[in-house]
Structure 1
Amino acid sequence: MTFSAWEAIKKANYIVGYKTYINLIKDMLTDQQKVVSTGMRGEVERCQTAIRLARAGEIVAVISSGDAGVYGMAGLIYQLLFQDNISLQVTVIPGITASIAAASLLGAPLMHDHCSISLSDLLTPWEVITKRIEAAAQADFVIAFYNPRSRERTEHIEKAREILLKYRPPSTPVGIVKNAFRTDQHITVSNLEEFTNCEIDMLSVVIVGNSQSFIKDGKIITPRGYDL
């Protein structure tokens, strides 16, 4: 995490978040701080609780994994405030999103134009997701896939691979990073033909290179285009 995130957590009276993320910072918390945690799909409830506590005068830290503004809680907090015409001081603390963390462990795969696409269709129709994959593939973006595979949703990453293979060779570099910078971190370097046979879950980020990306000494590099 960033230093500003660390400081914000230390200053908060209340810590609100998904229980898995709360567990990641439990060693930071003091006996004076109160914790409100909920399970998966409790995002609206968590943010409503945080707003209620803040309106009562508490200093509240809403915890997200990575960066709160990237598939996190920042947008939902603002939506709820605007919807109910509530005025509160909100500070979005920058974090390190999973694609950036994963890229640093893989080498330098994001050195040129890139995009992020979540393969979770809980909040976005699958038809929309496939259109975005198709467009990114045609445009030769390096692509970071978030939420690539869950226990119930195993086929989406396979379908994404099928779309990409229409535009990119099977040898295209692919990196998979699970639990970046956590104790059970795991890094795999593969290719577009074979990567779906690797271990991939909801704690993984999959980065697919573009037409210029290459693998050297186990690292994925996407050239920026410098004249060497």
Structure 2
Amino acid sequence: MAVTDEAIEKIKAMIVSGELSPGDRLPPEKELSERLGLSRNSMREAVKALEVIRVLDVRRGDGTYVTSLEPHLLLEAVSFVADMHDDDSLLEIFAVRRMLESQATGLAATLGTDEAVAALETELASLDADVTIDDLVDHDIRFHREIVQMAGNTYLASLIESLSGQTVRARVWRGLTEQGAVERTLSEHRAIADAIAQRDPNLATSLATAHIAGVERWLRQAATA
């Protein structure tokens, strides 16, 4: 193991063990390097690496702190990688989203509160017959976000959010170019919401899988046209 990797592992162990908690300030560099038996250079490189992935927050002139360690912070690196995708890899992003979000939808049918189910139905009822593509995409983002949040797993929600943001352009593109896309999307959303309201996780999972797979299928055909 490289010395810097060893330093990263030792700092991580301090956090995992509870010796360092979210918001805690790390001991001074000299003290920490001596305690862990590592050089100050390797400690410095480890801190830089952990700052990049938002585990540590280096405040110039103040010190180095453990961040809140909230999921949206820790998963920013995933969002960065997704931002760098090209059109060929977009299908892979959709595939990952399909696998994760379909399971989250099943969990929503099991764990979602009555209030959350009612909010989902209100979201669907907020659209009228003259919905624009922009309105549809905004609704689509809210609809799927509410369902994922119903699953009650903040890490899963943050991961899906980071992936979902990369698919907005394709969703707009489909809405503009595919005949009947608006009506089909709303119909599929209503079916998913009904399955969640009926507390049927198997049906909800299947419908969500088919819903996202439909966009994948269209994207694959559009890319080869």
TM-score, normalising length: structure 2: 0.33
The structure with more strand, counted as a fraction of residues: 1
Question: Quick one: higher RCO (CA 8 Å, sep 6+), 1 or 2?
Answer: 2
Richer in helix (by share): 2
